């Protein structure tokens, strides 16, 4: 008898009238918002304009979704193009199936297009959004929980995941929640990149490369635990080989980049510094105008003061003359 386990949702979609609200889609959408929010904060801190990250994300996110889906469909083509399967299902992205490798690769193409249009270096942009991407992955993995997919081997640990669905070859039971393992790992990756970036002032794409390397290290052991169908090469799953190769490339990039271009970019977004200095100049001008107006007011008050004194003296003299006249009249009478 199991004393504790993680229950799976009875369904991954709720219908609001004719509109389906899918848990998988919500996890991805929330992840995108978090990535853009954190990326914007980091971009502004590096000297960029607020809103630039979101503008480029308009290009990167659609490309990333298409790339992630393409990678999944290509590497698991038998799910859509084998006998008895419907190829139209390849377009049903809401049912799950996004390969992070394709998402990052094609998403980078979209980001490059957006950066090129703004005159921004892609490596600087990638460094800013790297921790946010890791957090987006951490949130997106919970979409697998809603779909009861991508779990590990059978287990009786207290945090085991209960699978209740029997569709698509699933066998109900308790399994390792690999979606949770990867989600927690991605949170750790985001914190690692933020810390290392502050500690070592990483630039020219090295913070992004650190994210890639750290993620691949975790993905390797998580992938090794999964039991869903996958292509194998020399006894290892295809994604294990992909993680190993990408890890090595990321480490090589960090080493080579650090030697060729140490430090950070001096300017990440052309014109952003001018905007800041222009705003500062405007503030100073407003302060100067206010000070000048105060000086003019003070001078006007100083000029008005002698006139007031003269008027007072004149009135006093008239009063004295009037009093003297009255006194003379009284004497004569």
Q: How does pLDDT run across 209-258, given as a tens digit for each residue?
A: 999 999 999 999 999 898 887 888 888 899 999 999 999 999 999 999 99
Mean pLDDT of 116-145: 95
What pLDDT band is residue 43 in, cutting at 50, 70 and 90? very high
pLDDT of 134: 97
CB burial class (10 A; 0-12, 13-18, 19+) of residue 6?
Answer: middle
Distances (CA, A) of 268 to 2, 53, 126, 329: 55, 12, 11, 94
23-45 vs 52-75: helix crossing angle, rounded to 10: 140
The CA distance from 76 to 92, in Å, is 14
Would you tell me how many other CB atoms lie within 10 Å of the CB of residue 34? 18
pLDDT of 123: 96
Q: How does pLDDT run across 54-64, given as a tens digit for each residue?
A: 999 999 999 99
Token couple for 174: 């308790």
Contact 47, 37 (CB under 8 A): no
pLDDT of 280: 47
The CA distance from 54 to 65, in Å, is 16
Contact 68, 100 (CB under 8 A): yes
Mean pLDDT of 18-37: 90
The CA distance from 38 to 130, in Å, is 9
Long-range CB contacts for residues 49-58, cutoff 8 Å, separation at least 24: 49/269, 49/272, 49/275, 52/118, 52/120, 52/269, 53/125, 53/128, 53/129, 55/114, 55/118, 56/111, 56/114, 56/115, 56/118, 56/120, 56/125, 57/32, 57/114, 58/114
Contact 147, 94 (CB under 8 A): no
With a CB cutoff of 8 Å and minimum separation 6, the contacts of 164 are: 8, 10, 148, 172
18 or 331, which is more confident:
18
The CA distance from 48 to 62, in Å, is 23
Lowest model confidence (mean pLDDT) among 17-26, 33-42, 131-140, 169-178: 17-26
- pTM for this model (two decimals): 0.79
Q: How does pLDDT run across 272-327, given as a tens digit for each residue?
A: 766 655 544 555 555 556 555 555 555 555 554 454 454 455 555 555 555 555 54
Beta bridge partners of 175: 154, 161
């Amino acid at each position: 008898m199991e004393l504790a386990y993680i229950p799976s949702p009875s369904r991954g979609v709720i219908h609001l009238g004719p509109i389906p609200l899918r848990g998988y889609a919500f996890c991805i959408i929330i992840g995108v918002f978090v990535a853009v929010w954190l990326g914007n904060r980091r971009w502004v801190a590096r000297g960029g304009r607020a809103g630039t990250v979101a503008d480029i994300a308009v290009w990167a996110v659609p490309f990333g979704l298409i790339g992630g889906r393409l990678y999944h469909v290509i590497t698991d083509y038998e799910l859509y193009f084998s006998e008895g399967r419907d190829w139209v299902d390849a377009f049903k992205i809401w049912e799950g199936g996004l390969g992070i490798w394709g998402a990052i690769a094609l998403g980078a193409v979209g980001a490059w297009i957006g950066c090129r249009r703004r005159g921004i270096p892609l490596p600087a942009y990638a460094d800013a959004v790297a921790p946010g991407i890791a957090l987006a992955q951490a949130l997106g993995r919970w979409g697998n929980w809603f779909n009861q997919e991508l779990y590990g081997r059978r287990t009786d640990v207290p945090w085991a995941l209960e699978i209740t669905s029997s569709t698509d070859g699933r066998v109900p039971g308790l399994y390792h929640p690999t979606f949770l393992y990867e989600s927690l790992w991605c949170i750790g990756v985001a914190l690692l990149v933020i810390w290392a970036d502050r500690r070592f002032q990483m630039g020219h794409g090295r913070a992004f490369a650190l994210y890639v390397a750290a993620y691949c290290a975790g993905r390797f052991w998580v992938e090794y635990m999964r039991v869903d169908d996958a292509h194998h090469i020399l006894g290892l799953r295809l994604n294990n080989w992909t993680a190993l190769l990408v890890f090595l490339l990321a480490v090589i990039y960090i080493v080579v980049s650090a030697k060729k271009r140490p430090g950070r970019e001096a300017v990440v977004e052309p014109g952003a510094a001018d905007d800041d200095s222009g705003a500062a100049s405007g503030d100073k001008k407003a302060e100067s105008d206010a000070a000048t107006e105060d000086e003019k007011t003070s001078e006007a008050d100083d000029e008005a003061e002698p006139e007031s004194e003269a008027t007072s003296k004149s009135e006093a003299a008239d009063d004295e003359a009037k009093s003297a006249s009255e006194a003379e009249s009284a004497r004569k009478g």
